[in-house]
Amino acid sequence: MILVTGSRLARRRLFLGGGLMMMGVTALGLLLLDRLAPPDLHRARDAALLVEASDHSLLDAHTSRDGMWRLPLKAANVDPGYLALLMKTEDHRFEHHPGVDPQALGRALWQIARRGHVVSGGSTLAMQVARLLTPHPHTWTGKIRDIFRALQLEWRYGRSGVLDLYLTLAPEGRNIEGIRAASLLYFGHEPDHLSTAEAAILVTLPRRPSAFRPDRHPQALRAAARRTLARAALPTPDILQAPAAPEIAHLAPELLGHFLTVHRDGVILTTLDSGLQRRVRDALTASPAPLRGTFAALVVNEKRQIVVWIGGAEHDGPGHAIDGVLASRSPGSTLKPFIYGMAFEKGWMTPRTRIRDVRLSIGGYAPLDFDRAFRGETTVSEALQLSLNVPAIQALRKVGPKAFMERLAANGATLSLPKARNGEKSAPSLAIALGGVDLSLHDLTMLYTALDHQGRTAPLQIEAQPATAETMLLTPRAAADIRAILRGTAPPEGVSGWNRVAFKTGTSYGNRDGWAMASTPQWTVGIWAGRPDGTASPGLTGRDTAGPVLAEVLALLSPPESPALQDEQERHRALATLSPALRKLSPDDTPQIIFPRDHAEIESRSSDGTMLPVGLEASGGHPPYRWFVNGMALDVPPGAQPAWTPDAPGFAHLALADASGAHMAVEIRVR
């Protein structure tokens, strides 16, 4: 008897050990299968992009890579009423089964056996998610695969993870998937608050998304939604309207493109003002654009938040996919205020300082003013208001091109120098004062915010975020001086005047870019005009092309506050109070030969073979000048324009001496 009992105990232990081993092998096999065939979640992770204005209105949007309106969503961000209705009507034992509901499956199979057709489905939310992740035909093979995948999903991600996947992938008609995308596109708000009718529509649509499509079968959708509420024993609203087909306004296509370029998706709440964005875009579209060109605009409020971003109005022409807000362009004369401001803060000049606007040679280059004339002696204030080139170059010579670029870069501006002939980047030069460096409208507008922010800049915000640290571009006094000068600049033609607007325009070399910049206590506005492909646009200027558009944009903005007495009466120090060194900028003590340039080749022979005179031009130093050709003094009558007639083609040595004895010489070739 004892032996029998011992034998039974041994058999039980053996049976138990074998069972445990079999369970272990099964678990190991399932774990191996899970690793070899993990759920494919790429559809759940491939999201659309929706760009919202600051009031949450939809500005623009783009589908996911597979062409769907789909947005990730977690159950914590969904209206509880929707979740309750979903569980009651789709999977009321969701919290108690492991992904597959044996009772529901058994009932469905029994009904099929008795009636020969499907009466009620047995799919759980997990089984629906399995089919949504990898869509396939409704076959028995597919159903069996969904069962195993549902068990895997519940084991891997838990009930909350499965629910989140369903909320992200549920088909809601057309190419809309997920509760968040459907709520935003159909109802215009997030799904964290849904009415009973809205919840019923979103629960009902996934059952037959094609048959219940709101824009095609609104009556069928309303009837089905009423049945959903009846099944859940909930009161049916008197009027249950089917949602209209979603419409995208496409008010910010360039900003949308920027976000796509940096691989953003989901819902992005921006700082844009939807009303202003629409009105400014309409104004730019209605404005006469440069030939085959367009306009770009950026408007920034006093908090340095971007409220308008228009990278190109609706004009036809090549290259219009380029975002004019972010594209790097030559800024023309728009950097001159900061050159003077840095010269002011260093004490090298003041707004009242007298400065000479005369011919000047820089590395063999003799710049002209925009109207190809020179004013002689003028004040720094007038030189900036008239955007004279030579005075700005003299100021930049004091500041230093490299130091100037480094200060702008330290304030967040990305600047790009043109490439030299050998393909390498050229060194900073005085040409920066005339637009010899590229930067974007975005960065230029950021720099102009310093004028009404005590000389300080900070990164512009396109998404609401905490204020970032400021950087000093100019001292407060220098910024105030520049602001006062630019407020005295004449407005564009046809504008009688504007209150407290610091105004500056610029035109790049070859009429490729026209700029108009404005700073007020409430707004900073930047306008760019030109061809997006960077080619020249005949007749384009900053003042005449971009300036009137800037005036239109300023008129659309809220009117500025009444001027403060102290700010309105900003005055510069009287000339008599300045030290002698600041009353007049000392001219360059070295005489310069403006024409001809060193190593120049000059055509000086007419068609009949006679030699033609070569005009000579000098600047700087201390006039009067004396000219020498091949060591021989040139006879120049008093008051006459110096000229020399070569005897024959060949090389010549030209020398210049001023009244102090300083001299300069060039070598030329006459052909």
Mind telling me the catalytic residues? 90, 333
Residue with tokens 């004019």: 324
What sign does the dihedral 489-493-498-504 (CA atoms) show?
Answer: negative
Task: Say how many C-beta atoms besides its own lie within 10 A of residue 405's C-beta.
Answer: 18
Q: Quick check: helix, strand or coil at residue 419?
A: strand
CA 393/CA 372 separation, integer angstroms: 16
CA dihedral 349, 351, 356, 357 (to 10 degrees): 130
What sign does the dihedral 84-85-91-92 (CA atoms) show?
Answer: positive
* Burial readout 502-517 (b: 16 or more C-beta within 10 A, e: otherwise): bbbbbbbeebbbbbbb
Q: Within 37-72, where are the H helices?
A: 42-45
* Tokens matching residue 423: 């393909």
Residue type, 379: T
CA dihedral 274, 276, 281, 282 (to 10 degrees): 110
Residue type, 36: L
CB 515 within 8 A of CB 444: yes
What sign does the dihedral 365-369-375-378 (CA atoms) show?
Answer: negative
What sign does the dihedral 75-81-82-85 (CA atoms) show?
Answer: positive
CA 205/CA 220 separation, integer angstroms: 10
Task: Say how many C-beta atoms besides its own lie within 10 A of residue 99's C-beta.
Answer: 24
* Residue 247, CA distances (Å) to 186, 187, 281, 309 in order: 9, 11, 19, 21
The H-or-E segment that residue 298 falls in is strand 294-301
Q: Are strands 69-70 and 176-177 parallel, antiparallel or unpaired?
A: parallel
CB 560 within 8 A of CB 497: no
Q: Per-residue DSSP letters for 395-455? A: HHHHH-HHHHHHHHHHTT---BPPB-TTSSBPPP-GGGGGT-SBEEHHHHHHHHGGGGTTT
Q: Helices 401-410 and 389-399, interaxial angle, to 10°? A: 80
* Tokens matching residue 333: 């004369």
CB 52 within 8 A of CB 184: no
CB 320 within 8 A of CB 532: yes
Q: Residue 485: name the closest of 349, 613, 365 by CA.
A: 349
Residue with tokens 């009932």: 107
| C-alpha atoms less than 13 angstroms from C-alpha of 564 in its C-beta half-sphere | 5
* Tokens matching residue 232: 């859940």
| C-alpha atoms less than 13 angstroms from C-alpha of 433 in its C-beta half-sphere | 31
